[in-house]
């Protein structure tokens, strides 16, 4: 069965510190992987995606993610967090048609000064 696991419900980091949000997936075919961000009261916005090729992908707002097939993981990273990064982050897995999207339960990020 297809599923996405985000083991960290909530993470708190200091502004300027590095960040890593974990994501593990289960998918029967070649996975297409995504990270979305949701600011309070807003819809979800795509941060980055992985379809194929280089396993380290760059996204918007200084985020990157690394696909590790052997670990079924797609962790999101940022070298230096800004206060504006406080939001809910969702990992998702799907196919290459847009017909299937499975979202994780999300990780809430708090940034402290």
Partner 1 sequence: EAGVVQSPRYKIIEKKQPVAFWCNPISGHNTLYWYLQNLGQGPELLIRYENEEAVDDSQLPKDRFSAERLKGVDSTLKIQPAELGDSAVYLCASSSDHFTGELFFGEGSRLTVL
Interface ranges with partner 1 (CB under 8 A):
4, 9, 32, 34, 36, 41-46, 49, 51, 90, 92, 94, 96-99, 101, 103-106
Nearer Cβ to partner 1 (81/92): 92
Closest approach of partner 1 to the CB of residue 80, in Å:
26
How does DSSP classify residue 96? S
Residue 37 vs 81, nearer CB to partner 1: 37
For partner 1, the closer of residues 53 and 113 by Cβ is 53
Strands (E), the chain: 3-5, 10-14, 19-21, 24-26, 32-38, 44-50, 56-58, 64-68, 73-78, 87-94, 101-103, 107-112
Query: Count of CB atoms within 10 A of residue 87's CB?
Result: 21
Compute the least distance from the CB of residue 16 to partner 1, in Å: 28
Neighbours of 103 (CB within 10 A): 15
Q: How far is the CB of 91 from partner 1 (least distance, A)?
A: 8
């Amino acid at each position: 069965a297809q599923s996405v696991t985000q083991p960290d419900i909530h993470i708190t980091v200091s502004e300027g510190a590095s960040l890593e949000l974990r994501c593990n997936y289960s998918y029967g075919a070649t996975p297409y992987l995504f990270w979305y961000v949701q600011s309070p009261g807003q819809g979800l916005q795509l941060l980055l995606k992985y379809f194929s090729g280089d396993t380290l992908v760059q996204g918007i707002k200084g985020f990157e993610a690394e696909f590790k097939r052997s670990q079924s993981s797609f962790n999101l990273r940022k070298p230096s967090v800004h206060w504006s990064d406080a939001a809910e982050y969702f990992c998702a897995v799907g196919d290459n048609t847009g017909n299937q999207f499975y979202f994780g339960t999300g990780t809430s990020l708090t940034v402290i000064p």
